[in-house]
Amino acid sequence: MPIATVNPANGETLRTFDALGAQEIEHRIATADAAFRQYRTTDFDERARLLNHAADLLEKEQDDIARTMTTEMGKPLPAARAEAAKCVKAMRWYARHAAELLADERPSDADARDSGADRAYVRYRPLGVVLAVMPWNFPLWQVVRFAAPALMAGNVGLLKHASNVPQTALYLGDLFHRAGFPKGCFQTLLVGSGEVESILRDPRVAAATLTGSEPAGRSVAAVAGDEVKKTVLELGGSDPYIVMASADIERAVSTAVTARVQNNGQSCIAAKRFIAHSDVYDTFVDRFTTRMAALKVGDPMDESTEVGPLASEQGRATLEELVDDAVHRGATVLCGGERPKDLDRGWYYAPTVLMGVTAEMRIHREETFGPVATVYRVDSIDEAVQLANDTPFGLSSNVWTRDDAEVDRFVRDLDAGGVFVNGMTASHPALPFGGVKRSGYGRELAGHGIREFCNITTVWHGAEPDES
């Protein structure tokens, strides 16, 4: 795939970039390795000063970088601005909390003595150079939610971003440089996916994090496993959105629309499978379909647009294949199911609701990356849990109920890294984020995320002999 900015709203190639050669890649890895040896000795106050400066710069420049993101991958401009603001928030949160999150941990005096120690503690030390392989769908946020905790922990980063968001990738490298981070602390590598293995195998690279597709995750995990290097993977999702009989239906419907079409439906944590109890199924589906059909699809630079184009022509083709397969096998299209007739340029797809989806349809098991929802009817909480878990993925989940016993059951039994009750899944710096099953492993954000790329070091001091 060429490294290029291609506007998904009209298919126009705006800029192309040459990939880095082997000599330049070697230079940048060497620079990162040297930077780590110095940067790891800085204290939390200095790291926080630098990260807060980066946040200040991004806050001032959020309108410009929002336009760059929208141009490169098609998200509506207001959503791009919100993404930039979220990055600022995360930077400041980690600058404020990192010292506390990575403070030495001490066992009780009794446990220390029982180990034979005069004193003992756990210290979190940085691992080194971390390779980040990042996706295009949240091209700023996905990187910052790795970079902010990694830099505050004393690590340094190499970013291999998606090839269709090169200007956003270059902006990120420049942002941390202008903020004053020492040379080599955070570098953007404009390289193709074929270079990832050799970079990860380099002995100066200590670990890797990847957000992306399941095949990409498998590839990186296999290489890292062979090299015995730590990885964190956040892969696909097919999140259930369960609406039980006691739910506030109006809120559940309005939130469901946002949960499905956020980022033009291209989000791992977007709700994709809508499971409604038979007592409220007809009402929920009717209202949900009406609102999905009424969404404004169009130019993502238009402030009133609610759904922009898909990020790539191939992405739209894949989505069309999933819908066509479902319809061929008997699913019913309640709305959408086609390209908008009034948008003949760009990679648009109409918000779509499918009913009658069955297990033999591809869309039942594969992730839908676009504004397509499937709806299911269940007669009990047992059926809801079983259907929700009938997926290879386990990223997050959404449940709507006012019954506390049902909440307890969902929290206990749903196979997911998150259970969001009476709301939609969202990430926040203070809450850990990640999944189970084929959605990956490890966690980002919160204290769990900042500790992922730390050497958890036991420090033991023997007791002095009693000379009395």
The pLDDT tens digits of the residues spanning 355-372 come to 999 999 999 999 999 999
Sequence-distant (6+) residues with CB within 8 A of 63 are 81
Three-state DSSP class for residue 400: strand
- Give pLDDT, residue 20: 98
Sheet with strand 230-234: strands edge to edge: 186-188, 156-160, 129-133, 205-211, 230-234, 440-441
Summarised one tens digit per residue, pLDDT across range 315-342 is 999 999 999 999 999 999 999 999 999 9
Say which residue, 467 or 302, is predicted with more confidence. 302
d(CA 312, CA 317): 9
| Angstrom distances, CA of residue 40 to CA of 34, 47, 57, 93, 348 | 10, 10, 24, 20, 46
Concerning whether 454 is annotated as a catalytic residue, the answer is no
Q: Which of 185, 268, 335, 454 is catalytic?
A: 268
Nearest Cα to Cα of residue 36 among 170, 207, 204? 204
- Give pLDDT, residue 466: 66
Counting every residue written for the chain, the total comes to 468
Contact 196, 220 (CB under 8 A): yes
- Give pLDDT, residue 463: 81
Concerning whether 234 is annotated as a catalytic residue, the answer is yes
CB-neighbour burial class of residue 456 (10 A; exposed 0-12, middle 13-18, buried 19+): exposed
d(CA 97, CA 120): 24
- Give pLDDT, residue 464: 78
Contact 306, 295 (CB under 8 A): yes
- Token representation of residue 178: 């202008």
Q: What is the mean pLDDT of the chain?
A: 97
Contact 256, 425 (CB under 8 A): no
Q: Percent of the chain, pLDDT > 70?
A: 99
- Give pLDDT, residue 467: 60
- pLDDT at residue 100 above 80? yes
- Token representation of residue 403: 């019954």
pLDDT bin (cut points 50, 70, 90) of residue 465 is confident
d(CA 207, CA 214): 18
- Give pLDDT, residue 205: 98
Nearest Cα to Cα of residue 116 among 410, 430, 465? 465
Rg (CA), the chain: 24
Summarised one tens digit per residue, pLDDT across range 152-202 is 999 999 999 999 999 999 999 999 999 999 999 999 999 999 999 999 999
| Geometric angle at alpha carbon 296, from 423 and 135, rounded to 5° | 60
Q: In the structure, how many helices (H) and strands (E) does the chain have?
A: 16, 19
**Position of tokens 């009817």?**
377
pLDDT bin (cut points 50, 70, 90) of residue 88 is very high
Q: Which of 72, 87, 185, 234 is catalytic?
A: 234
DSSP letters of 158-186? EEE--TT-HHHHHHHHHHHHHTTPPTTSE
Q: What is the pTM of this model?
A: 0.97
